Amino acid sequence: MIELDEIKSIVNKALEIFQSFESPFLGTIEVDGNVAFVGDTHGAIDVTSQVFSDIADKVDKVVFLGDYV
């Protein structure tokens, strides 16, 4: 199983690479608390609703990595 420190190292290396590109969309966001990253729910309202039901009381922010409309 991959360790948390290794994940952090990989994410930090990726961030360094992305920040080397000139783009107004890349940067650092400070977030206190827990963040959930949710894959593409392909517009399925039942799936999106279930995600919120399952995690709403466990996280402070939700980031959708695809369509959710």
User: Which tens digit of pLDDT belongs to each residue from 21-58?
Assistant: 877 665 667 778 898 988 888 888 898 899 889 998 99
pTM of the model: 0.51
pLDDT of 68 > 60? The answer is: no
pLDDT at 44: 87
Tokens for 68? Answer: 């959710």
pLDDT of 65 > 70? The answer is: yes
Question: Is the distance from CB of 51 to CB of 41 less than 8 angstroms?
Answer: yes
H helices of 1-69, where? Answer: 4-19, 45-55
